[in-house]
Amino acid sequence: MNVRTDQPVEDRHVAQRHLDRMVMLSDGIFAIAITLPAIELKPEAVPGKTLWQVWSTPLFVYFISFFIIGQLWLMHRRIVAHLRDVDGVGAAINLLLLSLVALMPVIIRFALSAEDSNQATQVYGAGLAVTYACMAVLWGYLAFVAKLAPDVRKGLALSWLYESLFVVFAFVAIVFYTSHQMIGLAVASVVALACRWYSSRVAREEAPSA
């Protein structure tokens, strides 16, 4: 009599279970984070202001946030799609990333309610910079340290890493701009453009053999 419970669990099945559970948790967090900002939209009629003036800023922040969180999810989906396994360190970094993603609705609420627009932009930009930096750390560790995505060529993996770093330094540049720190703005802008250029160049080099 063949009893399934007598059969050993293979290592590849254990690895797949770990990865599946991480993906399920991640998708749930992303789904909540991308939906909650809509609840924060509570524009009220203000005497002397048109309907467009009341709605324009909240809608702008909402759609920008939806796009940015969506981009984060697409990057995360791309990462997990190429993983063969995930270890404890990778899972811990992923949890840190999810904690930052879950914090996005709070940051968006602050951006919508803050009276000082520069302060709101600084908090918003800093939050996104840290979140994308965590995404870069996650991919950098999984691809180059743990080597859990061996099917991705090194050049393409580097292109994806610098793509994330470009976004990080772009938001850092925004924070410096609203803080009136021109030297920081210049340095962050140069680094962001360099990351973007390198990412695009490597991607083009990898394209013919992809």
Q: What is the DSSP secondary-structure string of 145-205?
A: IS---TTS-HHHHHHHHHHHHHHHHHHHHHHHHHTT-HHHHHHHHHHHHHHHHHHHHHHHH
pLDDT of amino acid 45: 63
Shared-domain flag, residues 193 and 92 = no
Among 131, 152, 173, identify where a domain stops.
152
Domain range for 166 is 153-210
The more confident residue out of 42 and 117 is 117
Same domain, 72 and 34: yes
Domain end call among 152, 174, 197: 152
Please state, in angstroms and rounded to a whole number, the distance separating the CA atoms of residues 187 and 101: 27
Mean pLDDT of the chain: 85
How high is the pLDDT of residue 208?
A: 56
First to last CA, the chain: 48
Would you say residue 55 has pLDDT above 80? no
Same domain, 110 and 198: no
pLDDT of residue 119: 86
Q: Which residue type sits at 162?
A: Y
Least confident range from 8-12, 37-41, 132-136, 203-207: namely: 8-12
pTM of the model: 0.84
Indicate whether 48 and 141 sit together in one domain.
yes
Residues 132 and 179 in one domain: no
Domain boundary among 152, 176, 202: 152
159 shares a domain with 92? no
Q: Give the least confident one: 41-45, 83-87, 162-166.
A: 41-45
User: 56 and 10, same structural domain?
Assistant: yes
Do 169 and 148 share a structural domain? no
In this prediction, residue 1 carries a pLDDT of: 45
Q: Which of 28-32, 37-41, 61-65, 128-132 has the lowest mean pLDDT?
A: 37-41
Say yes or no: 135 and 158 in one domain. Answer: no
Say if CB 52 and CB 46 are below 8 A apart: no
How large is the average pLDDT for residues 66-80? 91
Residues 42 and 95 in one domain: yes
Number of domains in the chain: 2
Residue 83 has pLDDT above 50, yes or no: yes
Q: Are residues 125 and 144 in the same domain?
A: yes
- Torsion angle, CA of 32/33/39/41, rounded to 10 degrees? -160
For range 21-27, the mean pLDDT? 91
**Rounded distance, CA 197 to CA 65, Å?**
25
The answer to whether 132 touches 164, Cβ cutoff 8 Å, is yes
Least confident of 108-122, 129-143, 177-191: 108-122
The rounded distance, in Å, linking the Cα atoms of 173 and 128 is: 12
* pLDDT attached to residue 36: 81
Same domain, 25 and 41: yes
